[in-house]
Amino acid sequence: MPAGLVKKRGELADLLAFLGTQKPASTGPSGRLEVVGPTVYGKLPSGQQVDEYTLTNRGGMEVRLINYGATLTSLITPDREGKRTDIVLGYDDLAGYLGDPISSGCIVGRYANRIAGARFTINGKAFELDKNFRGGHHLHGGDVGFQRRLWEAHSFREPDSVGVELRYTSPDGEAGYPGRLKVVVRVALNQQNELSFSYQARTDKATHVNLTQHSYFNLRGHDTGDVLDHRLRLYCDRYLPVDRDGLPTGQIASVAGTPFDFRQPRSIGSQIREVAGLYDHQVVIAGNPTGVVPLARVSEPQSGRVMEIFTDQPGAQLYTSIHLSRVVGRGGTIYRKYAGLCLETQHFPDSPNRPEFPSTLLRPGEVFRSQTIHRFSTE
């Protein structure tokens, strides 16, 4: 269970039934909790060095991160037979990430997802943002965003985990956002096969913040085709309908009787034709909970791999990578549509323009905090 990462005793008790009897993935060769790095990953066109860090544990997990975009480049886990495979989409080298069209593995900000009209108003003042989506909207923080910035990074060791702390200061006016925003992301791995992302942010002017991690998962292996046979359970009873531009209409609808009803496990592809082949919607966790709670359980029948996701965010963007089109990835693998599953834990899209949605406004003196945990096992 996430005992090393979820701190509140009551939250742990609430998770016991959810975690059940999942067995940890088989022991890896070293059996040690280690962090290695920084090592040189490459250099940006500016000449700045990009560093890589590697995290390992006794469960056979190996996690690689770079400080360009605070990007998770590799996540290796064993299957039920102990065979270790990379289960996230990615590239062989820095050049791949510099040209990446899909935000693979990075931290997205200042605002993950869409903002209608690329503008919002705070205290009567309008702010115009980068228009980088369908001609007039704002997506994933703009033309550059946090995913194309070089973060300050250093490794850490704690009694029950190892990891990397990444820091980035977004200047006032970047991509049109007000305020100087200081962001800290801690990525940690423990011996319970839990990979956590913990976020903090502070600002000197009122601004909107919505951060997420944007990995594409294929539990059979990054190079094995589509994820339509993965079985998905979502602890979500509502979703956000969208318009033709993928922007929320403002309605928060029940999943009952819709292709978004994953409250009981079923394959991702079982009803995908009913949404015109496209899952790219925010799903909403049942009960408006507080604290870290279950979001999803994903399993892959061939490998036996299981990924459970816990978060304190109100929901996640469910995305089945339909827009991938012959992206050349790691080892020359061609990533096509449905090659990966994203569950981007976050606040709702377009919240700055939707007062009926949970607020994403951060004011001076306040601290934005968020945590998401991925727990890996086999069955």
Q: Is 158 a catalytic residue?
A: no
What is the distance between the alpha carbons of residues 318 and 341, in angstroms, rounded to a whole number? 8
Contacting residues for 283 by C-beta, under 8 A, at least 6 apart: 234, 236, 238, 239, 255, 260, 262, 315, 316, 317, 318
CA atoms within 13 A on the CB side of 275: 24
- Residue 320 contacts residue 298 (beta carbons within 8 Å): no
Q: Is 323 a catalytic residue?
A: no
Cα angle: 88, vertex 33, 193; to 5 degrees: 45
Q: For residues 335 and 332, give the distance between their C-alpha atoms in angstroms, rounded to a whole number.
A: 9
Q: Rounded CA gap, 62 and 54, in Å?
A: 7
Annotated catalytic residue within 52, 62, 194, 344: 344
Quote the tokens at residue 64. Answer: 């690689």
CB 124: neighbour CB atoms within 10 A? 5
**Taking Cα atoms as reference points, which of 76, 297, 332, 102 lies closest to residue 216?**
102
- For 319-345, give the DSSP string: E--TT--SEE-GGG-EE-TTS-BEEEE
Among the listed residues 138, 214, 222, 230, the single catalytic one is 214
Rounded CA separation 37/83 (Å): 25
Beta bridge partners of 186: 165, 198
Tokens of 311: 């978060």
Q: Counting beta carbons within 10 angstroms of the beta carbon of residue 252, is it exposed (0 to 12), middle (13 to 18) or buried (19 or more)? A: middle
Q: Which residues are catalytic?
A: 214, 344
